[in-house]
Amino acid sequence: MHIQTLAVQHLHAQDLGAVVPPVHLASTYALDPATEDGPYAYQRGANPTRGQLESLLAALDGARHGFAFATGMAATAAALSPLGVGDEIILPTSVYGGTYRFVEEVLPARGITSRYVADLNQLTAEDLTPATRALFIETPSNPTLRITDLRRLVDLAHAHGALVIVDNTFMTPVLQRPLELGVDVVVQSATKYLGGHSDLLAGTITTNDDALATAYAHAQKAQGGVLSPSESFRLIQSIKTLPLRLERQQETTAAIVAHLRGREEIAVVHHPGSHSAEEAAIHASQATGTGAVLSFELAEGLDRVRFLQALRIPAYAVSLGGVESLICRPATMTHEAMTPAAREAAGIGDELLRLSVGIEHADDLLADLDQALSAAG
C-alpha cells in the first residue's frame, strides 16, 4: 500500500470501523481484582488513542514498534536513554541546537561523552573507539542540509557494534525510510511536518529492534514524557494530509531554490545535494525528494534586518514544516545553544537564514522574496 493511502486508511478498521478514531481521555482503568490485570492500567504506561497513533507511526516507517512523546526533544532523550557510563556518541557538527544542548549539558552528568564530525561520510573504522556506542545522524542536516550516506554508516557502525540513530524530521517517512536502509532507530519532531500546522508539540521514535523497543517503553513509563490522548488524536488527523502537504511544499521549494540561485543579491543557497555531486547522488539513492527547507545568505552589502522586516508572508519564527512559511536566523534562534566555535565548525554563520516553505502559492512567495531583496539593498 502506498504511503499516501496508508496515512489515511491504516486505522480505519482498528476501532469498529470508525473513520475517525475516538479519543480515550481516562487517566486510569479498572483492573480485574482476581488477576490485577487488564489491557490498560494508567495513561502514562499505555493509552488506546496513543496506541493507535503509535501503530500508525510504525506502519508509516515500516517498523515493528512506534512510540509517541510530548516533544521532539523528549523523543531524542528517550532514543539516547540506552546509553550509559563510559559510552560515546558521534554526531555531525551541523546538528539541531536542541540536540546539541542535550548532548552537551545533560549527557556528561551520566558519564556519556560526545564527539562531533564535520563530514560523517569521511568516518572510518579507525575513527571509532571501544567507547563508541552510537552514531546520531541528521540527513539532511539542520540547517546546512548536508547529506550522509546511511547505508555506509550503518555498515560501519554495525561492524563496530554501535547503534545508528537518525533524526528524520526534515524528510519524514514520505521521502526517506531509514529503517529500510538498516538504521536502528528513527526519531522525529512531530511538531514539524507530521503535525504540519504549528499548533502542537510531539516527538516520535520507531524501531525494529525488540530490545530497544522495551527500553523505549520503559523510558515512557519511567520518565513520563508521553503524548496526551488529545494531542495523539490531533496528530493522527494531521498525518492524513502529510503526503499532500509535502507534495505542494516541495514543488514550491524547488521553484524558490532555482529563483534565488539566479539572483545576484544571494551569495549562497543550501539545499539537499547542493554541497557536492557526491552528496546529491547519495541523497537521490536513499530519499525520494529534497524536502521543503533551504538556507541561504544575502550577498555582501545587503541588510539582513531590512530584508526580514520587509517580508510579508514568511513569519520570522523558529520551527518548520507547517502549512505556513517560516524564516529564521539559526545562529541566534534554533542553534543559539551552540558555542560560537561550534557554530563556526558547523558552517552556521551569523548571516545564514533558514526558510521553511509552506503551502502558499509559489508566485506569491517569489514576489515577496523579490520585494524584500529590493528593500534589503
3-state secondary structure of 86: coil
Asked if residue 299 and residue 341 are part of one domain, the reply reads: yes
- % residues pLDDT > 90 (the chain): 94
> Residue 10 has what pLDDT?
87
Domain end position, chosen among 239, 274, 294: 239
Burial 166-201 (b: 16+ CB within 10 A, else e): bbbbbbbbbbbbbbebebbbbbbbbbbbbbbebebb
Asked if residue 176 and residue 80 are part of one domain, the reply reads: yes
Asked if residue 179 and residue 150 are part of one domain, the reply reads: yes
Asked if residue 337 and residue 233 are part of one domain, the reply reads: no
Asked if residue 205 and residue 183 are part of one domain, the reply reads: yes
Q: Which helix (H) or strand (E) holds 327?
A: strand 326-328
Q: Which helix (H) or strand (E) holds 215?
A: helix 210-223
Q: Per residue in 298-357, pLDDT tens?
A: 999 999 999 999 999 999 999 999 999 999 999 999 999 999 999 999 999 999 999 999
Asked if residue 176 and residue 44 are part of one domain, the reply reads: yes
Domain with 260 in it: 243-376
268, pLDDT greater than 70: yes
Q: Do 366 and 255 touch, CB atoms closer than 8 A?
A: yes
Domain end position, chosen among 174, 207, 239: 239
17 — pLDDT class (breaks 50, 70, 90) = low
> Residue 15 has what pLDDT?
56
Domain end position, chosen among 176, 204, 239: 239
Indicate the pairing of strand 163-167 with strand 113-117: unpaired
Q: Do 213 and 238 touch, CB atoms closer than 8 A?
A: no
> Residue 82 has what pLDDT?
97
The one-letter amino acid code at 303 reads D
* Domain CATH for 106: 3.40.640.10
In angstroms, rounded to a whole number, what is the distance separating the alpha carbons of residues 342 and 336?
10
**What is the CA angle 21-322-50, rounded to 5?**
30
**Could you give the residue numbers annotated as active site?**
44, 96, 167, 192
CB neighbour list of residue 300: distance below 8 Å, 6 or more residues apart: 267
> Residue 9 has what pLDDT?
87
> Residue 124 has what pLDDT?
97
- Going 271 to 276 to 279 to 284, the CA torsion angle's sign is positive
> Residue 18 has what pLDDT?
74
Asked if residue 232 and residue 285 are part of one domain, the reply reads: no
217, pLDDT greater than 70: yes
Asked if residue 50 and residue 103 are part of one domain, the reply reads: yes
Asked if residue 44 and residue 178 are part of one domain, the reply reads: yes
The one-letter amino acid code at 57 reads L
Arithmetic mean of pLDDT, 176-190: 98
Asked if residue 158 and residue 249 are part of one domain, the reply reads: no
Q: Per residue in 218-256, pLDDT tens?
A: 999 999 999 999 999 999 999 999 999 999 999 999 999
Asked if residue 132 and residue 53 are part of one domain, the reply reads: yes
How many domains is the chain partitioned into structurally?
Answer: 2
Q: Which of 169, 228, 220 is nearest to 200 (CA)?
A: 228
Arithmetic mean of pLDDT, 192-196: 98
* Domain CATH for 312: 3.90.1150.10
Asked if residue 247 and residue 235 are part of one domain, the reply reads: no
115, pLDDT greater than 90: yes
Q: Which helix (H) or strand (E) holds 353?
A: strand 353-356
